Amino acid sequence: MIAEAHPSLRGKTAVITGGAGVLCREFAKALAVCGVRVVILNRTFSMAETLRDEILAVGGTAIAVQADVTDKASLEEAHRNVLDAFGPCQILINGAGGNRPSATTDDEFFSLETLEVPGKKSFFDLEEAAFDQVFSLNLKGTLLPTQCFARDMANGNGGTIVNISSMNAFTPLTKIPAYSAAKAAVSNFTQWLAVHFAKSGIRVNAIAPGFFSTEQNAALLWNPDGTPTARTGKILRATPMGRFGTPGELLGTLLWLVDEDASGFVTGVVVPVDGGFSAYSGV
């Protein structure tokens, strides 16, 4: 059904950074079903290999490529590998990203008492190096792959880029200032790129996922006995649909954005897929 809805994707080459991650692995599988030649670009090569094998087992076409999205030389080598295997990239999904515990506060609201509790991390205890790492992974990790792979598109071939932003880009969540600021930068950069490449046949958009319950964030959302944490209660109360999303619910938006026939006049947008979270004032 997915492949029938997007016939123009068949035969194209897609590079997905962070391609073996929780959400991006679903992107890779969906694109492969549509006949796309998928490049799973991941820092941990073994994870990329596992996903590649899963795609090959069901008749898809994919390769695993190791690269660090914050290292230009690593990406340039990955680019050469992609050219040798599949030729120029037509679809780039910048999915690599993440946060660091040392760039996260322990409390939602500052209080003087926090400063007096041993081991308690206040805003004033956030590590500069951790902030740098979060910005490097999310923003620089979008810039550098785009420089490497969009060059093929800029040579007159055209193409589409999809960045992965976040709900944090609209309204910052408590406790995670570095990640919130970095994702806001990704959204802003998406708009800048869209304008910059508008006359070159390259479209640039972003998806801003809401809240998804996955293995990666399970400890933050669920207690050991399976009951929701206090933060989960807040999230669901602020989500009009009253539930978490599933990774598969991002696929329709992704395939729409990468399909020239479906969204050829769409560029510079950040699409929330969030169950209404970004629209809800709480009142």
Q: What integer pLDDT is reported at residue 264 of this predicted model?
A: 97
Average pLDDT over residues 65-75: 98
How many Cα atoms are found within 13 Å in the side-chain-facing hemisphere of 206? 30
Average pLDDT over residues 108-130: 90
Mean pLDDT for the chain overall:
95
Q: What integer pLDDT is reported at residue 218 of this predicted model?
A: 78
Alpha-helical (H) ranges within 87-173 are: 112-115, 128-135, 141-152
How many Cα atoms are found within 13 Å in the side-chain-facing hemisphere of 212? 20
User: For the chain, how many residues are written?
Assistant: 283
Q: What integer pLDDT is reported at residue 1 of this predicted model?
A: 66
Q: What integer pLDDT is reported at residue 215 of this predicted model?
A: 76
Q: Say which residue, 281 or 220, is predicted with more confidence.
A: 281
Q: What integer pLDDT is reported at residue 103 of this predicted model?
A: 95
| Residue bearing tokens 């810039």 | 143
- Please report, for residues 6, 53, 214, the alpha-carbon distance to residue 130 in angstroms, rounded to integers and kept in the order given: 41, 34, 24
The percent of residues in the chain predicted with pLDDT above 90, rounded, is 88
Average pLDDT over residues 54-81: 98
Q: What is the CA radius of gyration of the chain?
A: 19
> Which is catalytic among the residues 170, 179, 212, 277?
179
Instruction: Give the Cα separation of 223 and 250 in Å (integer).
Output: 26
Answer yes or no: CATH 3.40.1400.10 is held by domain 2-210+245-271: no
Residue 2 has pLDDT above 90, yes or no: no
pLDDT digits over 72-82, tens only? 999 999 999 99
Structure tokens given for 11: 């035969």
Residue 261 has pLDDT above 80, yes or no: yes
How many Cα atoms are found within 13 Å in the side-chain-facing hemisphere of 199? 1
Query: Rounded to a whole number, what is the largest CA-CA distance in the chain?
Result: 61
Structure tokens given for 265: 């006049």
pLDDT digits over 150-189, tens only? 999 998 889 999 999 999 999 999 999 999 999 999 999 9
Residue 220 has pLDDT above 80, yes or no: no
pTM higher than 0.75 for the full model? yes
Q: Provide the β-strand partners of residue 94.
A: 17, 163
Identify whether 179 is a catalytic site residue.
yes
Average pLDDT over residues 17-38: 97
